[in-house]
A and B are shown apart, each in its own frame.
Chain A
Amino acid sequence: MISVPPLSLPQWQSDLSEFALHGTADAAARLLPHLKNSPVPVEAALAVHAACVHSALRSALAQRVPTVVALVGEGFFNTLAESYARANPPAAPQLSGWGEGLPAFIAAMPACAAYPWLGDMAAFDLALDRVAWVNPEATGPAVQLTPELALVASPGLAVLRCRHAVDRLRDAVAEATSGNEAALSAELLEAAPRCYVLWCAADAAVRCREISESLAEVLETLFLSDSGSETVPEIPAEGLAELAEALVSLSAIRLVHTAN
């Protein structure tokens, strides 16, 4: 009789995790001698853990990119999500923040090559999701224009560039889901570069507006650059004019008097 050397705890954890995520036969082979059927067959018990992991990860990702799920269907999405999870497993238990690499993953996935708009759609869904979880009572980034006057952005302010009109595509999906399938026309899937600004409004609703490239640059320069400069960045005159118009029409930014 061949005795099985004891399995160390690090090896147990590594093999169980590897099998659950990747279904690796080698990992299962290393585990099997250390498990007994009692009375559930070992293979069935191992499969429970693999199924649990992927079900939870699919579900977490699906919640973040609902339009992607609606566009490609549950079956394709599940395959996509499992592939993504194997390549980019979460590092932390806060799954509401997991999946940020999905747009790039989609762009590089051969099976998605026929759907060039899918990566953009994922980026749009993720951007909306990020803004949805922003604290509406928080203060957004601000720029002090003068000692008495500041430009203050709404919490969650984000700029997104896409090669497709993903806002219209998303609206069409919602209409199609409500029964108007004609809303999903092929022209919506054609390339049409767009810039968007997203923010969390005071009523906690997520707002999104299409903006010009120049305004996108201004917003990024003023509020979203990493420079951390407290001085007002130089902005081309065209950008300033658009910013002034945006101040009037968008609740995303506002002028605040800061002097006492």
Chain B
Amino acid sequence: MFSRIPAAAGVGLRFPHHGVALQPTPGVSWLEVHPENYLLDPGARVHLRRAREHLPISLHAVGLSLGSVAGVSRDSLQRLRALIDELEPGLVSDHLSFSVANGHYLPDLFPLPYTEEALEVVVKNVDAVQHALGRQLLIENPSVYLAPAAQDFDEPEFLAALVKRTGCGVLLDINNVYVTATNTGQDPAALLKSLLDRLPREAIGEIHLAGHTTRHLDSGQRLLLDDHGSKVGDAVWALYRETVQVLGRVPTLVEWDNHLPEWQVLAAEALQADAVLIALHGPMLEGLPLAFHRPVPG
């Protein structure tokens, strides 16, 4: 039985917090992990199974390389499927990016040019993954640093086409919206609005919140790095409020990967996300289907 991820706040679980995550923590209603950290390590999976007994778990992959022209590794899919069968996660996601090329896996989320050619590749790969896993995949919008000179789509159009053609869902990372917009000379609020306008509301199954670093270049420009190593910024919180105002309650994850703070810091940010959800939509009504928590259109 897959655990249902509540339309409330959760946090990304990393190894140093394996122990403390077993304690009930206000604000933390679910956990998310990177499956790649557990696929080879049965010892680590023991911790994950214990955590799963306390809270629903979501799997957020970083290694499927959904945009790769080489396709998705059958071995990776089999391992992921086995972990899914073992943990029964509520949600499974990965990124709109590629990490495998020239026969290597490189630990970065490389951007795709939004072209017809890339769309065909991603559609084929997402179809293959969803078929192999027997479930819907959520695809996360990327943090973009490089701007291809010629593209057939903008990001919202590309994601909307992907959703339409594959039936996948979307993991809307609000920090990525802010980082991408800033790095590519767009207005973050306008990019967010375009995403919310173009994507079917029911397709957005999860939201991510994270911190970024600002680097001031010698040329005078600002470069934002999506490093998940600091607290969620004010501008991102503002975009989050706009998002859930439109979408209603959506499972929301606070995600740290670098400079991991104490568990309580993560929990405090999760509480803050919950406070936004409660302020806009009232307390979560436990047990009701997710759709009941969404505002009625019109």
A→B interface (CB under 8 Å): 4, 6-10, 12-14, 16-18, 20-21, 33-42, 44-46, 48-49, 52-53, 56-57, 60, 89-97, 132-138, 200, 204
Query: Is the CB–CB distance between A40 and B104 below 8 Å?
Result: no
CB <8 Å contact, B104 and A90: yes
Residue on B with the closest CB to A95? B107
24 A-B contacts, Cβ less than 8 Å apart?
A9-B118, A9-B121, A13-B68, A17-B102, A20-B108, A34-B113, A35-B149, A36-B148, A39-B185, A39-B221, A44-B221, A52-B107, A53-B107, A53-B108, A57-B107, A90-B107, A92-B63, A93-B65, A94-B36, A94-B79, A95-B36, A95-B107, A136-B46, A204-B43
Q: 10 tightest CB-CB pairs across the interface, nearest first?
A: A93-B63, A135-B42, A17-B101, A56-B107, A89-B104, A133-B41, A45-B145, A13-B101, A38-B147, A52-B108
With A and B bound together, what is the CA distance between A236 and B36 in angstroms? 44
Query: With A52-B108, A56-B107, A93-B63 known to touch, is A9 a contact of B42 (CB < 8 Å)?
Result: no
Residue numbers of B with Cβ under 8 A of A are 36-37, 39-46, 62-63, 65, 67-69, 73, 75-76, 79, 98-99, 101-108, 110, 112-113, 115, 117-118, 121, 145-150, 183-185, 217, 219, 221, 223, 225
- How many Å from the CB of A32 to the closest CB on chain B? 10
Task: Check B150 against A40 for contact (C-beta < 8 Å).
Answer: no
Q: A36-B149, A136-B43 are in contact. List 14 more A-B contacts (CB 8 A).
A: A18-B102, A21-B104, A21-B106, A34-B113, A35-B149, A39-B221, A45-B223, A49-B108, A53-B106, A57-B106, A60-B107, A90-B106, A91-B103, A133-B40
Best-buried of B63, B67, B98, B101 by chain A (most CB within 10 Å): B101
In whole angstroms, how far apart are the Cα atoms of A138 and B42 in the complex? 9
Give the one of A17, A46, A133 with max B CB within 10 A: A17
Residue pair B150, A6 in contact (C-beta under 8 Å): yes
Which B residues touch A38, using CB under 8 A? 147, 184-185
Q: How many A-B residue pairs have CB under 8 A?
A: 143
Task: Quote the shortest CB–CB distance from A212 to chain B (angstroms).
Answer: 29
Q: Are A92 and B76 in contact (CB under 8 A)?
A: yes
How many Å lie between the Cα of A94 and that of B34 in the bound state? 10
Q: Select one of A9, A35, A204 contacting B147, CB under 8 A.
A: A35
User: Which residue of B37, B68, B102 contacts A96 across the interface (Cβ within 8 Å)?
Assistant: B37
Given the contacts A9-B69, A38-B147, A45-B146, A89 and B105 also touching, CB distance less than 8 Å? yes
A37, A39, A53, A134: most-surrounded residue (chain B CB, <10 A): A39
- Enumerate chain B residues within 8 angstroms of A42, measured Cβ to Cβ: 146
Whole-angstrom distance from the CB of B156 to the nearest CB of chain A? 17
Most buried by B among A7, A48, A93, A138: A93
User: How far, in angstroms, from A94 to B225 measured CA to CA in the complex?
Assistant: 24
